[in-house]
Amino acid sequence: MAGPEVSELQTFEHDVLVIGAGGAGLRAAIESSGRGMNTGLVCKSLLGKAHTVMAEGGMAAALGFTDARDNWKVHFRDTMRGGKFLNQWRMAELHAKEAPQRVRELEEWGAVFDRTDKGLIHQRNFGGHRYPRLAHVGDRTGLELIRTLQDHGVHQGISVHMECTVLDLLKDGDRVIGALGYWRETGRFVLFKAKAVVLCSGGVGKAWRVTSNSWEYTGDGLAMAYLAGAELMDLEFTQFHPTGMVWPPSVRGTLVTEGVRGDGGILKNSEGKRFMFGYIPERFAPETADTEDEANRWLKGDKEARRPPELLTRDVVARAITREVKEGRGSEHGGVYLDIASRLPAEQIKKKLPSMYHQFKELAEVDITAQPMEVGPTLHYHMGGIKVDHDTQMTTVPGLFAAGECAAGLHGANRLGGNSLSDLIVFGKRAGEFASEYANSNDAGKVNDEQVKAALRRATDFLNREEGPNPFVVQENLQAIMNDHVGIVREGAELSAGLEKLAEWKQEAEKAKAHSASQYNAGWHTALDLRNLAIASEGITRAALMREESRGAHTRVDFEGEREEWGKYNVFVWRGEDGEMKIEKRERPEPPKGLKEIGYAKIEDLESGKVGADVE
């Protein structure tokens, strides 16, 4: 199949083009359209199917409805502590301040959260959050978010381009001025011209074998931004959610919500021991229960009691599970037990965790109201991503913005559960706002025909060549490399060996062969995503090798514990002029004094107003 002429390509012209239609993309598009921009929204799947739909627990916002002591400063402090102080201070501040108004806005657009007995939004406890803070709907909050934005968004005049995959960003000089994509249905190519482009493309879970992510999460945004000259940062921080399903094999990795633990679920090893009491880090010891009795009192609402250790941050819990299994105290299928059955009456479990009940019943033939679940870590989320300006979400490339999982900065070394959905709406809105501003003050650029032709050639080569490896098998080979070499516990020599294997694998990936025609061809789609997986995987591995310490979600057995020195740096990755990947650590700027004091304050000093009272 020969590529078409550039002038013959189907072309759409927008002021703002948003790539990705999960929570961040939809929110960005609603904002930009609301500001009078001609807005295009492109998504790989049907509208409403993006991974946001899988989020279960809730969205964090210091509304203070369930516990009036909550406010943005405590949320900000929790976020910084959870991120091991590697977050961008200003983003954590904006997020904590703006999340409540973004959540209220969702109600106006039709979201129906669970209610308190006073009729306000009920908030749920979650790991790392001092107070019950997560607005939620049972355990299907992501569905509520995406459907609310979708149902509101379809009335805002946004042009939605469904089942369309973007191949490359297009540039005019230094600026991004559009994108080239293809329709999955027909295999035909399509050109988008835009004054500003917003990437909301999610993560890169598909680089691992055990993941909660679907086929879509192949690091497209990271790779396209990288190729367009943008800087990536914090790539080494990949979050393994502590509780994925481990049995049966076909669902290994599927998410089990943290809400199970928030509602009282406990983790036990094969000896029946509630092992998390043995894994409480020093930093969290003053705020964590050290007896089962105290943990149980906390659950019943005793405000003097401290939180159960099952609700420590995800990195801590995931490492603890890994250790239990490694030391021979794992469950039958290589996980540990998560028990809610002995903690709550059956009817309450079904009411509070309906989709978990359903998921285990149908997929594992386990009744969670009577039996424990078997769970283990699963690659879930990427804290790292495209570097953005704190306030505007613009990347280091003019005209290119990013928000949501594909952007970096808010979560630092580890994300708190519930901070993702709020991230999407806070920074999705900001990206839409500032992309509109940029589009207002810039003209449409000029498309470089040569760049388009090269992208078309690369895409059609997979179909045209005589032979080559099956793209699905090639992708499985990558997943094996990343699982074995860049897993939850890392080591220098393993990472270096992984890099060598990745280089070899890249050669294989470039030779993949997609059979038959380009119409709805899953093999071709998979082949096209391999380049993006390769770039993201290489960046993650290099950054993991560079950071010689263990912090948050990044654990090095050869460099145990947090190193003070490394707390001063973020790791950056970009494409050099020679086409090779460059990497360096850069010193973090000193935060504003007031924010720093709140971040490091003792909780009692913050609550009494001794610290932070003068910060607006």
Smallest distance, Å, CB 464 to another protein? 15
Binding status of residue 140 toward another protein by CB under 8 A: yes
| Contact (CB, 8 A) for 258 and 127 | yes
Q: Is 48 in the site for another protein (CB under 8 A)?
A: yes
Could you tell me the smallest distance in angstroms from the CB atom of residue 386 to another protein? Answer: 23
Nearer to another protein, 51 or 95 (CB): 51
135 counts as binding another protein under rule CB under 8 A: no
Task: Give whichever of 238 and 254 is closer to another protein, judged by the CB atom.
Answer: 254
167-196 footprint of another protein as x/- string (CB under 8 A): ------------------x-----------
* Radius of gyration of the chain, Cα coordinates, nearest whole angstrom: 23
Among 159, 270, 296, 355, binds another protein (CB under 8 A): 355
Given the complex with another protein, which of 110 and 286 has the nearer CB atom? 110
In 10 A of CB 115, how many CB atoms? 11
Report yes or no: 122 and 65 within 8 Å, Cβ to Cβ: yes
What stretches of 224-324 adopt beta strand conformation (E)? 232-233, 238-245, 266-268
Among 138, 219, 262, 539, the residue binding another protein under the rule CB under 8 A is 138
- Between CA 568 and CA 586 the distance in angstroms is 8
Query: Binding another protein by CB under 8 A: which of 36, 69, 151, 560?
Result: 151
Of 53, 103, 164, 295, the one binding another protein (CB under 8 A) is 53
Scanning 152-160, 172-180, 367-375, 559-567 for contacts with another protein by CB under 8 A, the matching segment is 152-160
Q: What SS3 class is residue 78?
A: helix
- Burial of 438-458, coded b for 16+ CB within 10 Å and e otherwise, reads bbeeeeebebeeebbeebbee
| 21 sits near another protein (criterion: CB under 8 A) | no
- Neighbouring C-beta atoms of residue 48, cutoff 10 Å: 20
Residue 245 contacts residue 56 (beta carbons within 8 Å): no
Can residue 358 be called a binding residue for another protein (CB under 8 A)?
Answer: yes
Assess 519 for contact with another protein (CB under 8 A).
yes
What are residue 575's DSSP bridge partners? 581
Dist. CA 233–CA 402, nearest whole Å:
13
For residue 455, the minimal CB distance to another protein (Å) is 22
Count of Cβ atoms closer than 10 Å to residue 261 Cβ = 27
Residue 382 one-letter amino acid: H
Is residue 162 a contact point for another protein (CB under 8 A)?
yes
Is 248 near another protein (CB under 8 A)? yes
Q: Which residues of 491-511 are buried (b: 16+ CB within 10 A; e: fewer)?
A: beebbeebbebbeebbeebbe
Give catalytic residue positions.
241, 261
Q: Which of 1, 370, 522, 613 binds another protein (CB under 8 A)?
A: 522
Write down the least CB distance from residue 370 to another protein, Å: 19
How many CA atoms within 13 Å lie on the side-chain side of 347? 0
Distances (CA, A) of 209 to 148, 202, 213, 479, 485: 32, 18, 10, 5, 12
Among the listed ranges 111-119, 278-286, 387-395, 547-555, the one in contact with another protein (CB under 8 A) is 111-119
Using CB under 8 A as the binding criterion, the count of chain residues that bind another protein stands at 67
Distance CA 409, CA 231 (A): 12
Residues that bind another protein (CB under 8 A): 45-51, 53-54, 104, 107-110, 112, 114-115, 117-120, 137-138, 140, 142-144, 147, 151-152, 154-155, 160, 162, 185, 214-216, 247-251, 254-255, 355, 358-359, 362-364, 470-473, 476, 514-517, 519-524, 526
